[in-house]
Structure 1
Amino acid sequence: MPFATTDDAVRAWVRGWALSRGAAEPAVEPWGFTVDVGLPLPREVARHVLPAADETTVRKITENTAAPGVWLKTFVPPETLQAWLAPGWALAGGPGFLMSVPLDGPAAAPGSLARGYRLTGWTRGGVTRAVVRAADGSFAARAQVAVTGRSAVVDQVETHPAHRRRGIGRVLLRTLADTAARAGSTAAVLAATPDGRALYESAGWRVLAPLTGATRVAPDGGA
C-alpha cells in the first residue's frame, strides 16, 4: 500500500485536490476538513471531508448546515451515508472510489500516443496539466496532477467519447505519474468514478475506500 493508512491517503487527497482546483487551504476540523471552494451555485461553494465518518457526526453537520452548495464527502458506501443524512440533504455526484498507486521513480518513457494525436503540457503553481488533441486540433483528452511533497493527486481526467479505447488515458496517467515522481512524490491518489475505475486498475491503481458525496438541497429542489 503506497500510504501507511487510508487516513493518510485521504489527507493527501484533500490537500492535493484543493491545490488542483485552486481552492482554499483545507481547514482542519475535529472530524476532518473544510475546504472553501468558492464556486457559485449550482456548483460547489464549500465542502466538508470526513476521513472517518460516523452517524453522529454526519447527522450533526447536516442538521446544522442550511446553505445550499455545501458538499459532504465521506468514505462509506452510498447506502450508509444516505441513512445518516438529515432532512434537506441528498446523495450527489454518484458513487466513487478513493484509489492510490505507488510511484517508484521516473519511468523510462510514459508511452506514445496513436498516430495523429499530440500531447502538450504545462506546470504552474504546483499543478501540471496535460491536454491531448486530435490531428485536426480538436480536444481528445485531459488530466492534471497536483504535487504536494511526497504525495500527488491526479485530477480532472477526461477523455472525449469519440477518442476512447485508444490508449490515451493510460498515456496521460503514465505521463502525470512520471511528472509527480520526478518532483519527489512517492505515491499518488485520486477520486474515481465507476467508469474510470477500470482504466485506473489497468494502470496499477487500487481501491482504498468507497467515496460518497452529499449536498444540501436548494429550496427549489435542486442541489
Structure 2
Amino acid sequence: MARSLPEAEPVESAGDGLRSICNQPGREVEVFALRADEEPESLDRLAAAVAAARQTTWLTVPTLRPGTVEAVVGAAGLELLHRSEWFMTTDLTAHPQHAPAAPYEREVRTEGPVTVVSLHDSSGEVAARGTIAVVGADAIADRIETDAAHRRRGLGRAMMSALAEAAVAQGARTGLLIASEEGQRLYSSLGWRHEADVLIARGPVVPSNQ
C-alpha cells in the first residue's frame, strides 16, 4: 500500500508466505515468508519456488534464527542480498516528538491511507522524505531517506515524529518497519523495538557463463 503496489496474494502453500508483484528492475516479484521459524519446511518450499521462478524474485524472511535461514536459502541456490536488516515495531501513541530545526520546514501530504512527509531546506529543495501507510491499527513506515548533504542534523528524528503523528491521526497505534543497518540506531533511539532479523535472498541465480 505504501508503494501503490497490487495487493499481495498467498503463495501456493497457504500460510507459507505472500507474493507481491513489484515490477522493479532486479526485483520483479517479492515473496515474504510468514512462518519460517514456526514451520521450517515452509521456508524450504518458498526457497525452492523462488529458485525455480521465471522472474527475478526476492525472498524476504523475518526470523530469530538467521543462521538457519541463511543455510536454507544457500542450499536452494539463492543469492543472499541482505543479512543485517531488522523488523521493528513501536507504540506510535508514545512516539517522541521532534520538530525540524531551522531552516528546515515540514510538508505533510495525505491521500487516503498513505502520508508522505517532506522536509525542505531554505531553498525549497527536499532534504528528507518518508512515507507511512495505515492499515487498520497498524502503520508501515517506508522509504525513509535523508539526502547525504543534510545528514546529522536531526532530520531523521523529525521525519519519524511527523510520520508517527500522521498515522496516529488516522487511527493507527502500532508502527512497523524494516530497518536497514544504517537506520537501526536511529529507530532504536526513538523507542522502536527489534522483533526479528530480516534476511533477503534473490533467485533464480543465472550462471555467470550465460
**TM class, shorter-length:** 0.7 to 0.9
Q: What does residue 63 of structure 1 align with?
A: 48
What's the secondary structure of 1:25's corresponding residue? coil
Moved more, 125-134 or 111-120: 111-120
- How much does 1:94 deviate? 4.5
- Identify if the C-alpha distance between structure 1 residues 187 and 220 changes in structure 2 by more than 3 Å, giving closer, same or farther: same
Q: CA–CA distance in 2 between the matches of 1:125 and 1:93?
A: 32
- Please report the TM-score for the alignment, with normalisation by the length of structure 1: 0.81
What's the secondary structure of 1:45's corresponding residue? strand
Q: CA–CA distance in 2 between the matches of 1:33 and 1:20?
A: 19
- How much does 1:41 deviate? 2.9
1:165 correspondence with 2:149: no
Q: What does residue 88 of structure 1 align with?
A: 77
Pick the structure with more strand per residue. 2
Residue deviations 1:155-181 (CA, integer Å, cap 9, x gap): 111111221111111111111111111
Q: What does residue 35 of structure 2 align with?
A: 52
Residues 148-159 of structure 1 aligned to structure 2 (within 5 Å): 148-159=135-146
Structure 2 residue runs of 5 or longer lacking an equivalent are none
Q: What does residue 10 of structure 1 align with?
A: none
Structure 1 residue runs of 5 or longer lacking an equivalent are 1-18
The answer to whether the 8 Å contact 2:17/2:31 transfers is yes
- Identify if the C-alpha distance between structure 1 residues 71 and 106 changes in structure 2 by more than 3 Å, giving closer, same or farther: closer
What's the secondary structure of 2:183's corresponding residue? helix
Q: How many residues align?
A: 200
- Identify if the C-alpha distance between structure 1 residues 38 and 190 changes in structure 2 by more than 3 Å, giving closer, same or farther: closer
Q: CA–CA distance in 2 between the matches of 1:122 and 1:32?
A: 36
Q: CA–CA distance in 1 between the matches of 2:149 and 2:200?
A: 29
1:26 correspondence with 2:13: no
